[in-house]
Structure 1
Amino acid sequence: MANQITEQVAELQAAAGRPFAAGTALLLLLLSYPLLRALYNVYFHPLSKVPGPLTWSATRLPFVWALLTGTIVHDIQELHRQYGPVLRIAPDEVTFEHVDAYEEILKPASPQFLKDPTWWKRQPGQPESILSAIDPKHHAHIRGALAPGFTPRALRAQEPFVQRYVNLLIDRIRELAAKHQESEIDIAPWLMFTTFDIFGDLGFGESFDCLQSSRYHPWIALLFGSVKAAAFVAAARYYPWIEYVLMKCIPASLREKQKAHFNQIVDKVRRRLNYEMERPDIMSHVIRKDEDLSQGLPLDEIEVTFMMLTTAGSETTATVLTGTVNYLVQCPEKLDRVVSEIRRQFQSETDITLDALRNCTYLNAVINEGLRLCTPVPWVLPRRVPPGGGTVCGVWLPGGTRVSIQAYAMSRDPQYWHRSESYLPERWLPESQNDPKSPFYGDKRQALQPFSVGPRSCMGQHLAWAEMRLILAKLLWNFDFAAPEDKEKWLRWEDLRTFLLVEKRPIYVRVKPRFQTR
Structure 2
Amino acid sequence: MAVMASFSSLESLDLAFVLKALAGTWVMWYLCGVFYNIFFHPLANVPGPLLCKFSKVPWDYWQWTGRLPQHTAKVHAKYGEVVRIGPNELSFTNNAAWNDIFAKVPGRAQWPRHPKRVPQGKNGPQSIMNTAGTYHARFRRLLNHAFSEKGLQEQQHLITKYIDLFVNKVDDFARTGQSIDVTKWFVMVGFDVISDLGWSEPFNCVENGEVHEWVESPSMGPELLRALPVPVPFPFPSRADELKFLFRERGLMFLAPYFIPMKLQLARLNNFKYARARVEERIKEGSARGDFWDKIAIKSADDNAGGEGLTKEEMVVAAVTLVGTGSHTISTLLTGLAYFLGTNPHAMKTLVDEIRSFFKSPEEIDLVSVHKLKYLTACLNETMRLYPPVINMLWRTPPRGGGYASGIFIPEGTGCNMSFFGIAQNPDYFTRPLDFCPERFMPDPPAEFLGDNHEAYHPFSLGAYNCLGQNLANAESRLIMTKLLWYFDFELDGKVDKDWLDQKSFGVFIKKDLPVKFRPGPNARSGLNGKPVKINGHANGGAK
Q: TM-score, normalised by structure 2?
A: 0.86
| Kept in 2: contact 1:491–1:507 (CA 8 A) | no
User: 1:490 deviation in Å?
Assistant: 3.8
Cα distance change on mapping 1:303 and 1:14 into 2, 3 Å: closer
Separation of aligned partners in 1, 2:9 and 2:295: 81
Separation of aligned partners in 1, 2:84 and 2:397: 14
Separation of aligned partners in 2, 1:336 and 1:490: 22
Quote the residue 2:59 is aligned against: 63
Structure 1 range deviating more: 51-60 or 253-262: 253-262
Instruction: Summarize deviations over 1:23-61 as a string: whole Å, max 9, x none.
Output: 321122224443432232122222111100001112011
Instruction: Summarize deviations over 1:285-328 as a string: whole Å, max 9, x none.
Output: 21122248242121211210221111222211110111011000
Quote the residue 1:503 is aligned against: 510
Cα distance change on mapping 1:251 and 1:91 into 2, 3 Å: closer
Cα distance change on mapping 1:389 and 1:62 into 2, 3 Å: same
Quote the residue 1:160 is aligned against: 157
Cα distance change on mapping 1:473 and 1:426 into 2, 3 Å: same
| Kept in 1: contact 2:174–2:517 (CA 8 A) | no
| Kept in 1: contact 2:371–2:377 (CA 8 A) | yes
1:240 to 238, 243, 264: 243
Matches within 5 A, 1:122-201: 122=120, 126-134=124-132, 136-179=133-176, 182-201=177-196
Separation of aligned partners in 2, 1:14 and 1:459: 64
- What amino acid is aligned across from residue 434 of structure 2 in structure 1? E
Percent of residue pairs identical: 29
User: 1:343 deviation in Å?
Assistant: 1.1
Matched, 1:103 2:99: yes
Separation of aligned partners in 1, 2:100 and 2:215: 36
Matched residue of 1:353: which SS? coil
Consecutive unaligned residues in structure 2, runs of 5 or more: 1-6, 232-239, 528-544
Separation of aligned partners in 1, 2:312 and 2:377: 38
Quote the residue 1:513 is aligned against: 520
| Kept in 2: contact 1:377–1:407 (CA 8 A) | no
- What amino acid is aligned across from residue 241 of structure 2 in structure 1? Y
Cα distance change on mapping 1:53 and 1:297 into 2, 3 Å: same
Instruction: Summarize deviations over 1:84-117 as a string: whole Å, max 9, x none.
Output: 0000000011111111111211133543221122
- What amino acid is aligned across from residue 277 of structure 2 in structure 1? D
Cα distance change on mapping 1:239 and 1:248 into 2, 3 Å: farther
Cα distance change on mapping 1:226 and 1:309 into 2, 3 Å: closer
Matched, 1:76 2:89: no
Matched, 1:46 2:42: yes
User: 1:235 deviation in Å?
Assistant: 3.5
Quote the residue 1:396 is aligned against: 409
Separation of aligned partners in 1, 2:124 and 2:340: 40
Quote the residue 1:326 is aligned against: 339
- What amino acid is aligned across from residue 351 of structure 2 in structure 1? V
- What amino acid is aligned across from residue 326 of structure 1 in structure 2? Y
| Kept in 2: contact 1:265–1:303 (CA 8 A) | yes
Quote the residue 1:222 is aligned against: 217
1:85 to 73, 81, 88: 81
Quote the residue 1:489 is aligned against: 497
Matched, 1:279 2:254: no
1:451 to 455, 460, 465: 460
Please state which structure has a larger fraction of its residues in helix.
Answer: 1
Matched residue of 1:391: which SS? strand
- What amino acid is aligned across from residue 39 of structure 1 in structure 2? F
| Kept in 2: contact 1:369–1:425 (CA 8 A) | yes
Matched residue of 1:480: which SS? strand
Quote the residue 2:419 is aligned against: 406
1:417 to 421, 430, 454: 430
User: 1:126 deviation in Å?
Assistant: 4.1
User: 1:257 deviation in Å?
Assistant: 3.4
User: 1:128 deviation in Å?
Assistant: 0.7
User: 1:428 deviation in Å?
Assistant: 1.3
1:203 to 192, 198, 204: 198
Matched residue of 1:274: which SS? helix
Matched, 1:268 2:266: no
Structure 1 range deviating more: 102-111 or 297-306: 102-111
| Kept in 1: contact 2:219–2:265 (CA 8 A) | no
1:313 to 326, 343, 358: 326
| Kept in 2: contact 1:231–1:500 (CA 8 A) | no
Separation of aligned partners in 2, 1:209 and 1:350: 24
User: 1:461 deviation in Å?
Assistant: 1.9
Quote the residue 2:385 is aligned against: 372
2:309 to 290, 296, 320: 296
- What amino acid is aligned across from residue 243 of structure 2 in structure 1? P
Consecutive unaligned residues in structure 1, runs of 5 or more: 1-10
Separation of aligned partners in 2, 1:305 and 1:39: 45
User: 1:408 deviation in Å?
Assistant: 2.4
Separation of aligned partners in 1, 2:218 and 2:370: 32
Structure 1 range deviating more: 196-205 or 508-517: 508-517
Matched residue of 2:517: which SS? strand
Separation of aligned partners in 1, 2:67 and 2:433: 20
Structure 1 range deviating more: 215-224 or 159-168: 215-224
Separation of aligned partners in 2, 1:467 and 1:129: 24
User: 1:417 deviation in Å?
Assistant: 0.8
Separation of aligned partners in 1, 2:292 and 2:372: 26
Query: How many residues are aligned here?
Result: 499
Instruction: Summarize deviations over 1:189-216 as a string: whole Å, max 9, x none.
Output: 1111111111111111111211122122
Separation of aligned partners in 2, 1:76 and 1:193: 32
Separation of aligned partners in 1, 2:166 and 2:262: 39
Matched residue of 2:395: which SS? strand
1:475 to 477, 484, 487: 484
Quote the residue 1:7 is aligned against: none
Separation of aligned partners in 1, 2:145 and 2:175: 42
Cα distance change on mapping 1:217 and 1:384 into 2, 3 Å: same
Structure 1 range deviating more: 414-423 or 39-48: 39-48
Instruction: Summarize deviations over 1:241-260 as a string: whole Å, max 9, x none.
Output: 79357425357775443211
| Kept in 1: contact 2:218–2:264 (CA 8 A) | no
Matched, 1:338 2:351: yes
